[in-house]
Structure 1
Amino acid sequence: MIRTHETTPFNDQKPGTSGLRKKVRIFAQPNYAENFIQSVFDVVERDAGTTLVIGGDGRYHNRTVIQQAIRMAAANGYGRVLVGQGGILSTPAASHVIRKYGASGGLVLSASHNPGGPEEDFGIKYNIANGGPAPESVTGRIHARTLEIDRWLDVDAPDVDLDTRGVTHIGEMAVQVIDPVADYAALMEELFDFDAIRAAVKDGLTMAFDAMHAVTGPYAHEILEGRLGFPAGTVHNGTPLEDFGGHHPDPNLVHAKVLYDLMMSDNAPAFGAASDGDGDRNLIIGKHRFINPSDSLAMLAANAHLAPGYADGLKGIARSMPTSAAADRVAEALGIPAYETPTGWKFFGNLLDAGMATICGEESAGTGSDHVREKDGLWAVLLWLNILAVTGKSVDQLARDHWARFGRNYYARHDYEAIESEKADALMAELSASLPDLPGRTFGPLTVAEADSFSYTDPVDGSVSENQGIRVLFEGGNRVVFRLSGTGTQGATLRVYLERYEPAGGDMDAETPAMLADIVAAAEEIAGIARHTGRTAPDVVT
């Protein structure tokens, strides 16, 4: 029997770049999660009796919300729910399950790379029928509904046994608990040359993978150790924990320092990688060679033809605006289009659906292709392994060969976290007002060629997204980008992206901080970061 629960709106449920993210204590308020989920169900396009996918990254509060979402789905006319065993589905695996089984959409319960636990973060994101994050047209309707909602619906039913695979029923709705790994692993076997990787492992290819006690642990155990033959112990921190073991599941050089130290040591394996809370990000490190995400995108695109799933070539390459232009140079060499989009994987969806792009990437450690509609950490790791196995090169040699051909985009991102929102907004407002006066000005050895607030017109549907970050482009292919991030749960995060292009034949193996020093100084002079925020150094450098 359907139950109607009266409620009142919350005024803070506007989805950000990747859904709604708040502290657990916020989501644990009576009606809070229910209001948001009901708002999704009220506005999204779906037929009666359709399938809904539900899964998450295993963080604290996941199981509670999954059980409630199942009861609400039954009351809202869904015919079937597919849920990952244990409540587990990595974000790319959820995208694949939505696509494979013809679901009308899915709820992905995750705050991605944010910390987990009773005092930490939680999130809910809705993905549409193509498997990708809901576009702004949909999230806008969801937000509007949250501001007027007056009731939510559920049925009176016991909790589902999430730990046992099989089918149960809640009223007329079937609930199928599925193996969270099997469908995804089968897809990876279609895309990559597992035989070549297995042969390389037998010949001595070694690796270390840090799952960060997050969702990719079961996937990595099954694929890397189970199917590819890497020895037990290759996967570190492979058991998902509700608090990620007390660590921050963000695969960068700060939070994956143990892996970095291993890869820079004399005992390093040939290849090191990590993934994040929900499995959509990746970190790539070779023995004594870190590959930044922008370079990883470019190198994967340049060598993707070595994998069976991409042997026919790429249709195009897309990157987020803050990501370095390294991939653009690959696209030019391959004679294919390069697209520059706002930050947020949802902006790649139209390009992928229209067959205009094959590989996409973001500087924030997200890389993926048209196999799903999310960035995919393990996919990137497996493509790297495929390339290493076929070429027989080390990560370092592959990088050096790439830079010798295309030149090198020295690149870094400086994050200033949890800034008071008013101070961050004032900085960006002052910076925006200064844009008309910047071209032609010099800052040390740098001369500004162009400066703008990035606006994107989608080449597929013509939709326009404005104010997506401030770009200051210097002569010679160097630049700095300023952007406020929408992935945190408190205050504002100012991200400053710094890029210097060194043409082929130049210094390809210098220290990145030294190469970017002039741009760092120019960024401070242009934006007045210390003056506005009181911060004299970033919290995180990646």
Structure 2
Amino acid sequence: MTTIATTPFDDQKPGTSGLRKKVPVFSQPHYAENFIQSVFDSLDDYAGKTLVIGGDGRYLNRTVIQTAIKMAAANGFGKVMVGKGGILSTPAASNMIRKYQAFGGIILSASHNPGGPNEDFGIKYNTGNGGPAPEKITDAIFERSKLIDRYRISEAPDVPLDEIGIYTVDDMEVEVFDPVADYAELMEELFDFDTIRTFLANGFEIAFDAMSAVTGPYAKEILENRLGAPEGTVRNFTPLEDFGGHHPDPNLVHAKELYDEVMSEGGPAFGAASDGDGDRNMVVGKGIFITPSDSLAVLAANAHLAPAYKGGLAGIARSMPTSQAADRVAEKLGIGAYETPTGWKFFGNLLDAGKATLCGEESFGTGSNHVREKDGLWAVLLWLNILAMRGESAYDIVKSHWAEYGRNYYSRHDYEGIDTDAANGLMDALRDKLETLPGTTFGELTVAEADDFAYHDPVDGSVSKKQGVRIMFESGSRVVFRLSGTGTSGATLRVYLEHYEPDPAKHDQDTQETLAELIAYAEHIAGIVARTGRTEPTVIT
């Protein structure tokens, strides 16, 4: 063991899900080590205990895994469990922490962000419940990072990550394990694999795009090997350091090829994609793109068709910007509906306390109480279980859902890489207007309420403020503004637009046309063009 003198960096504040920066930043001497040591220095009573380590295979993954293993040994952990090849999806990591009662885990990923020598990298810490560290821990990590003057690291040789087995680093045991096996076993416990297998064998064709990211080995094993889908069902299944030069974000922009294939004549009946670290999903049915908000609502309404949820749901939780479609399901089921800030860590207390069973975010994340992370492949399997049990197309299932609950027309407009000062100025100006907005009109819209969303955790009583500006109209429509915490350069302004339509005769309208008045209002009230110079969003989902 060696103790290395170091000096603090001033930019190691964790965002929504850990610390994310460009690879050249993380490649600086002491940078990754400082942050990892700051994590360990912010924890108590881990001596002799187990730490799970893994990542999504992106550039720098293997290098930082070796560093994290050696630092864990030098800091007194008793065992490290690491996925073969350094591979471990985020939901699989959560499962490993929970199943083997590890003290916590270090996940190396920048989620849906691009990878490569000049692209993005990230480190986050998950606690013993398998979920992302809560704010009290990430705040402590940041405070420690501003004062750190040394880190501890072993001088032992690298661990052979490509060979499953038991190794030692100084006095610490290192187990290199199959990253897919435990996760696949969990999925078999949750879902009716026999029914899904028969459904697929009878000609229901699906396509899954792993986007050259971490979900590939999981989807290949589960969909093709265990469920019998034809070879070739899973595309881009080999994790690559640069994700094949593609952006591993499963949406209508970056997964357009899959969308076009499903919509084409003779294409598969159902398509799905997952992101860089495997925690997000996009689902597409023949003739219909299913928004993440609608997906959460439909899954919640039909979850009882899968073995794990046949006893019913305790509650449904959604992030504040996510549409209110799931709330209507919760109301009909007579269960709790919870609105939290963006960030999966906010669902952890609800899940641990048994208040919620299903959770979802509009940013293509859905999950349940089986782990403490969102889970892309889990969502796809639940969809397949529902499709197999109902024997209907995804299009018909969504249409019948709208007929019963009404349709929440919904869209997110992202303005990426804008000047940080301009973005903060825009948000500050909106906050200054909040008290004067109620009662004001714009076209046919009348503002009923306006606030800066604050979350009061019903479990531990903690309060999280400034989570996004909400403007609610008397018609039930909403416009929400917030800055994303997942980028690595500049700022991303996200504008969320929602219009509720109960009339089934109006459920086939174009989304952007339906939301046109709300889009115009967003520009009117925020001055996006004047403040950012952007005349249109970078991405519309």
TM tier, smaller = over 0.9
The 4+ residue runs of structure 1 with deviation greater than 2 A are none
Superposed, which structure 2 residues align to 1:143-162 within 5 Å? 143-162=142-161
Deviations 1:74-119 (A, max 9, x none): 0010010000000000000000000001101000000000000000
Change (3 A) 1:147 1:532: same
Q: Which residue of 2 aligns with 1:301?
A: 300
- One-letter amino acid of the structure 1 residue matched with residue 520 of structure 2: A
Equivalent-residue separation in structure 2 for 1:453 and 1:230 (angstroms): 47
Residue 510 of structure 1: CA displacement? 1.1
What's the secondary structure of 1:72's corresponding residue?
helix
Q: Which residue of 2 aligns with 1:350?
A: 349
Q: Which residue of 2 aligns with 1:459?
A: 458
Q: Which residue of 2 aligns with 1:174?
A: 173
Deviations 1:199-252 (A, max 9, x none): 101111110000000000000000000000000000011100000000000000
Equivalent-residue separation in structure 1 for 2:502 and 2:521 (angstroms): 21
1:239 partnered with 2:242:
no
Q: Which residue of 1 aligns with 2:370?
A: 371
| Farther-moved stretch of structure 1 (449-458 vs 505-514) | 505-514
Equivalent-residue separation in structure 2 for 1:372 and 1:423 (angstroms): 38
Equivalent-residue separation in structure 1 for 2:115 and 2:23 (angstroms): 9
Q: Which residue of 2 aligns with 1:198?
A: 197
Equivalent-residue separation in structure 2 for 1:477 and 1:506 (angstroms): 18
Q: Which residue of 2 aligns with 1:106?
A: 105
Q: Which residue of 2 aligns with 1:437?
A: 436
What's the secondary structure of 1:231's corresponding residue?
coil
The alignment yields a C-alpha RMSD, in angstroms, of: 0.6
Q: Which residue of 1 aligns with 2:8?
A: 9
Q: Which residue of 1 aligns with 2:43?
A: 44
- One-letter amino acid of the structure 1 residue matched with residue 175 of structure 2: Q
Q: Which residue of 2 aligns with 1:483?
A: 482
Q: Which residue of 1 aligns with 2:216?
A: 217
- One-letter amino acid of the structure 1 residue matched with residue 245 of structure 2: G
1:329 partnered with 2:328:
yes
Equivalent-residue separation in structure 1 for 2:254 and 2:214 (angstroms): 16
Q: Which residue of 2 aligns with 1:428?
A: 427
Equivalent-residue separation in structure 2 for 1:206 and 1:412 (angstroms): 28
Equivalent-residue separation in structure 2 for 1:373 and 1:68 (angstroms): 26
What's the secondary structure of 2:130's corresponding residue?
coil
Asked if 1 retains the 8 angstrom alpha-carbon contact of 2:50 and 2:104, the reply is yes
- One-letter amino acid of the structure 2 residue matched with residue 232 of structure 1: E
| Farther-moved stretch of structure 1 (172-181 vs 42-51) | 42-51
Equivalent-residue separation in structure 2 for 1:33 and 1:439 (angstroms): 47
What's the secondary structure of 2:313's corresponding residue?
coil
Matched residue pairs, number? 541
1:471 partnered with 2:509:
no
Equivalent-residue separation in structure 2 for 1:44 and 1:355 (angstroms): 26
Equivalent-residue separation in structure 1 for 2:262 and 2:321 (angstroms): 27
- One-letter amino acid of the structure 2 residue matched with residue 309 of structure 1: A
What's the secondary structure of 2:506's corresponding residue?
coil
Asked if 2 retains the 8 angstrom alpha-carbon contact of 1:406 and 1:504, the reply is no
What's the secondary structure of 1:536's corresponding residue?
coil
- One-letter amino acid of the structure 1 residue matched with residue 509 of structure 2: A
Identity score, percent: 70
- One-letter amino acid of the structure 1 residue matched with residue 359 of structure 2: C
Residue 267 of structure 1: CA displacement? 2.1
Residue 440 of structure 1: CA displacement? 0.8
Superposed, which structure 2 residues align to 1:276-295 within 5 Å? 276-295=275-294
Q: Which residue of 2 aligns with 1:189?
A: 188
Q: Which residue of 2 aligns with 1:24?
A: 23
Q: Which residue of 2 aligns with 1:94?
A: 93
What's the secondary structure of 1:482's corresponding residue?
strand
Superposed, which structure 2 residues align to 1:402-413 within 5 Å? 402-413=401-412
Asked if 2 retains the 8 angstrom alpha-carbon contact of 1:55 and 1:84, the reply is yes
Equivalent-residue separation in structure 1 for 2:315 and 2:234 (angstroms): 33
- One-letter amino acid of the structure 2 residue matched with residue 346 of structure 1: K
Q: Which residue of 1 aligns with 2:59?
A: 60
Asked if 2 retains the 8 angstrom alpha-carbon contact of 1:15 and 1:143, the reply is yes
Equivalent-residue separation in structure 1 for 2:176 and 2:367 (angstroms): 27
Asked if 2 retains the 8 angstrom alpha-carbon contact of 1:320 and 1:344, the reply is yes
Superposed, which structure 2 residues align to 1:110-129 within 5 Å? 110-129=109-128
- One-letter amino acid of the structure 2 residue matched with residue 24 of structure 1: V
Residue 156 of structure 1: CA displacement? 1.1
Asked if 2 retains the 8 angstrom alpha-carbon contact of 1:270 and 1:287, the reply is yes
Residue 504 of structure 1: CA displacement? 4.1
| Farther-moved stretch of structure 1 (506-515 vs 241-250) | 506-515
Asked if 2 retains the 8 angstrom alpha-carbon contact of 1:45 and 1:104, the reply is no
Q: Which residue of 2 aligns with 1:449?
A: 448
Task: State the TM-score, normalizing by the size of structure 1.
Answer: 0.99
Residue 332 of structure 1: CA displacement? 0.3
Deviations 1:462-508 (A, max 9, x none): 00000000000011210100000010000100000000000143411
Q: Which residue of 2 aligns with 1:528?
A: 527
What's the secondary structure of 2:409's corresponding residue?
strand
1:539 partnered with 2:538:
yes
- One-letter amino acid of the structure 1 residue matched with residue 6 of structure 2: T
Equivalent-residue separation in structure 1 for 2:35 and 2:503 (angstroms): 51
Equivalent-residue separation in structure 2 for 1:325 and 1:130 (angstroms): 28
Residue 47 of structure 1: CA displacement? 3.1
Asked if 2 retains the 8 angstrom alpha-carbon contact of 1:403 and 1:504, the reply is no
Q: Which residue of 2 aligns with 1:395?
A: 394
Which runs of 5 or more residues in structure 1 are unaligned?
none
Equivalent-residue separation in structure 1 for 2:258 and 2:203 (angstroms): 20
Residue 516 of structure 1: CA displacement? 0.5
Equivalent-residue separation in structure 1 for 2:235 and 2:18 (angstroms): 29
What's the secondary structure of 1:15's corresponding residue?
coil
Asked if 1 retains the 8 angstrom alpha-carbon contact of 2:54 and 2:86, the reply is yes
Equivalent-residue separation in structure 2 for 1:43 and 1:88 (angstroms): 26
Q: Which residue of 1 aligns with 2:129?
A: 130
Deviations 1:421-464 (A, max 9, x none): 01111111111101111111111111111100000000000000
Deviations 1:93-147 (A, max 9, x none): 0000000011010000000000000000000000000000000000011111101
Task: State the TM-score, normalizing by the size of structure 2.
Answer: 0.99
Residue 270 of structure 1: CA displacement? 1.1
Asked if 2 retains the 8 angstrom alpha-carbon contact of 1:306 and 1:387, the reply is yes
Equivalent-residue separation in structure 1 for 2:299 and 2:385 (angstroms): 10
Asked if 1 retains the 8 angstrom alpha-carbon contact of 2:445 and 2:475, the reply is no
Equivalent-residue separation in structure 2 for 1:229 and 1:515 (angstroms): 41
- One-letter amino acid of the structure 1 residue matched with residue 81 of structure 2: L
